[in-house]
Amino acid sequence: MQGRHFLHIPGPSPIPDRILRAIAMPIIDHRSAEFAALGKEVLDGSKAVFKTKQPVVIYPSSGTGAWEAAIVNTLSPGDTVLMAETGHFATLWKTIATRFGVEVELIPGDWRRGADPAAIEARLSEDKSRQIKAVMVVHNETSTGATSRVAEIRKAIDAAGHPALFMVDTISSLASVDYRHDEWQVDVTVSGSQKGLMLPPGLSFNAVSEKALAASKSNTLPRSFWDWQEMIKINAGGFFPYTPATNLLYGLKEALAMLREEGLDNVFSRHQRLASACRAAVKAWGLEVLCQNPAEHSPVLTAVLMPPSHDADRFRKIALEKYNISLGSGLGKVAGKVFRIGHLGECNELALLGALSGVEMGLAAAGVPHRSGGVAAAMAEFEGSESGNQAKAVA
């Protein structure tokens, strides 16, 4: 096909040219002073994105590795953790925990909402013997487009007076959705490189509180590759205890620079604008957004329910073949029932409007019942947002 491919899955997200050029740097000696300078810059610079002054550990792995690292550095076999079932990725994190002999108590969910702070507070309040060692929540559930209210969950834990560790997965939200590791007293924040940070897959992160570091000195799960203590000790000099993903670190350096230049608050506002326009298009098509709570609508992606008896994967296949656009598939319980439109990372108004045009034409080509006018509705949403910003500027 002629022209660019429209990659609008909820990650990996498109990689900016600046980052691609940075990754193309020649490899250097990872025991050299030049590398130490790079290591210190990205280790310190990452803290601003997590909004923390505490250590950020960087692994050469996917986000799954960071999930495992959070578990093996803080928990012991037989420990009980409380987890909210928000969707497919919460379920996967649960599976990893159980493989290490951790007992996972799941607060059931319908995959259409984020984690319920009231339910978490109620369960912790019941736990008089303090058997629950950690609360584990996915901030932005990539399979459903629902964003959990992490600040409210922190308040719920405090209201219950419970000492449990607080662990949050920000793999699809970091650098796209406002997140505050220190202010919200999160103990372990998990993330990955391939979404809001606009990098290829291959780097993962743990932001770690003092409380979590203390837990890592007494828990009994074995670890070597994932060990925080060894990483943090060697990171002090800008180095890593094993061969790092040097060229991805060059890309991370450039990504951090791009985020600083735009300003994190502007990044978050841009994602909110894009998400609002995407939802306006879905409404105009007469389709339904999977996430039912407007307060939890994701700025990162929009999951769209297909009409009954219409297969989302068939629609996605037709849209790809005719219009060269990749859309996210439904996962787990919603496989074949939803498609997902990613609007994260290096995405702007024109990029999203192009993607929405592909979706609208794809719906028609696949014979999916809908109304036309979704793209026009998104344009009107952008125009309204721009008018509102101009009014604020004048005021």
Q: So what's the pLDDT on residue 209? A: 98
50 and 232 Cβ atoms separated by less than 8 Å = no
Of 8, 15, 5, 6, nearest to 194 (Cα)? Answer: 15
Q: Is 166 left (phi over 0), alpha (psi -120 to 50) or beta?
A: beta
User: Domain of 29: which CATH number?
Assistant: 3.40.640.10
The answer to whether residues 256 and 201 belong to one domain is yes
User: Domain of 353: which CATH number?
Assistant: 3.90.1150.10
The answer to whether residues 74 and 204 belong to one domain is yes
The answer to whether residues 150 and 164 belong to one domain is yes
Tell me if 46 is assigned to some domain.
yes
The answer to whether residues 246 and 317 belong to one domain is no
Tell me if 365 is assigned to some domain.
yes
Sign of CA dihedral 294, 295, 301, 305: negative
Tell me if 227 is assigned to some domain.
yes
Tell me if 1 is assigned to some domain.
no
Tell me if 325 is assigned to some domain.
yes
The answer to whether residues 234 and 115 belong to one domain is yes
Residues of each annotated binding site: 340
Q: So what's the pLDDT on residue 241? A: 97
The answer to whether residues 256 and 267 belong to one domain is no
Q: So what's the pLDDT on residue 385? A: 76
Residues of each annotated binding site for substrate: 340
Q: So what's the pLDDT on residue 393? A: 53
The answer to whether residues 48 and 71 belong to one domain is yes
Q: Last residue of a domain, which of 260, 278, 299?
A: 260
Q: So what's the pLDDT on residue 391? A: 52
The answer to whether residues 275 and 229 belong to one domain is no
Q: Last residue of a domain, which of 206, 234, 260?
A: 260
Tell me if 337 is assigned to some domain.
yes
How many CA atoms lie less than 13 Å away from 61 in the CB half-sphere? Answer: 18
The answer to whether residues 195 and 330 belong to one domain is no
- Tally the domains of the chain: 2
The answer to whether residues 115 and 246 belong to one domain is yes
Q: Which residue has the tokens 């793209």?
A: 375
Q: Last residue of a domain, which of 260, 295, 328?
A: 260
pLDDT in tens, the chain (395 residues): 788 999 999 999 999 999 999 999 999 999 999 999 999 999 999 999 999 999 999 999 999 999 999 999 999 999 999 999 999 999 999 999 999 999 999 999 999 999 999 999 999 999 999 999 999 999 999 999 999 999 999 999 999 999 999 999 999 999 999 999 999 999 999 999 999 999 999 999 999 999 999 999 999 999 999 999 999 999 999 999 999 999 999 999 999 999 999 999 999 999 999 999 999 999 999 999 999 999 999 999 999 999 999 999 999 999 999 999 999 999 999 999 999 999 999 999 999 999 999 999 999 999 999 999 999 999 999 999 775 565 555 45
Which domain, by its residues, includes 116?
17-260
Tell me if 322 is assigned to some domain.
yes
The answer to whether residues 285 and 254 belong to one domain is no
The answer to whether residues 254 and 363 belong to one domain is no
